[in-house]
């Protein structure tokens, strides 16, 4: 499995993204609304690696000083190839967001033996929020017909977490000594 560091949203942004998930589900698109795990919440993956040791949580605390960070969930995009694709919303890459990404990248490097996956490197990263995975090609017109998929969403990122995919545990990164 992989480890990731993720930006979390305020309650209003979280609710707006969940509304998009629900509208997609209502239209017959298998969105993230169906994923009921407590760890499933709207987020932006800032970096991802095969491993990140627990020291990354402490190392990333200074990044919290950059929050809250306002941004916009903009255009819908598709990732992948073949018979099904992943539907996402671009997080418009402001200078502030790109600086935060660069800082997370730099501070995470000492905590991974293999380095980040290439698509997480500065200059190659595409900030996004996932709406639906494995969308069949024939359902793309339906997905793009859902009005909430194409309307900009003003957003505010307010927190960070570290997802340990090996242990399937979320570590909320806080400004004090508690990391889980």
Question: How high is the pLDDT of residue 38?
Answer: 73
Q: Which domain holds residue 119?
A: 3-169
| 100 within domain boundaries | yes
| 177 within domain boundaries | no
pTM assigned to the model: 0.91
- The total domain count for the chain is 1
Please state the φ and ψ torsions of residue 152, each to the nearest 5 degrees.
-55, 145
| 179 within domain boundaries | no
| 174 within domain boundaries | no
- What percent helix, strand, coil does the chain show, rounded to 5? 35, 35, 30
Q: CATH number for the domain including 39?
A: 3.90.1140.10
| 175 within domain boundaries | no
pLDDT at 10 over 50: yes
| 47 within domain boundaries | yes
Reference 13, options 156, 148, 110; nearest CA is 156
| Tens digit of each residue's pLDDT (9 = 90 or more) over 78-101 | 999 988 899 999 999 999 999 999
pLDDT at 179 over 70: no
Question: How high is the pLDDT of residue 1?
Answer: 80
Please state the rounded mean pLDDT for residues 11-30: 96
Q: 65 has which bridge partners?
A: none
- Sign for the CA dihedral angle at 84, 98, 37, 28 comes to negative
| 65 within domain boundaries | yes
Give the span between the Cα atoms of 114 and 122, in whole angstroms: 16
């Amino acid at each position: 499995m992989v480890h990731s560091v993720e930006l979390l949203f305020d309650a209003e942004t979280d609710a707006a993204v969940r509304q998009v998930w629900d509208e997609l589900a209502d239209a017959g698109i298998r969105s993230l609304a169906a994923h009921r795990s407590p760890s499933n919440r709207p987020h932006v993956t800032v970096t991802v690696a095969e491993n990140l040791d627990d020291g990354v949580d402490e190392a990333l605390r200074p990044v919290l000083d950059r929050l809250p960070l306002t941004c916009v969930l903009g255009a819908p995009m598709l990732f992948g190839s073949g018979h099904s694709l992943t539907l996402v919303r671009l997080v418009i890459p402001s200078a502030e967001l790109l600086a935060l990404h660069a800082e997370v990248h730099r501070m995470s490097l000492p905590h991974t033996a293999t380095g980040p996956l290439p698509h997480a490197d500065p200059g190659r990263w595409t900030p996004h929020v996932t709406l639906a995975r494995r969308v069949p090609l024939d359902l793309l017109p339906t997905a793009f017909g859902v009005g909430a998929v194409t309307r900009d969403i003003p957003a505010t990122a307010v927190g960070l977490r570290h997802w340990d995919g090996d242990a399937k545990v979320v570590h909320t990164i806080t400004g004090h000594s508690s990391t889980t």
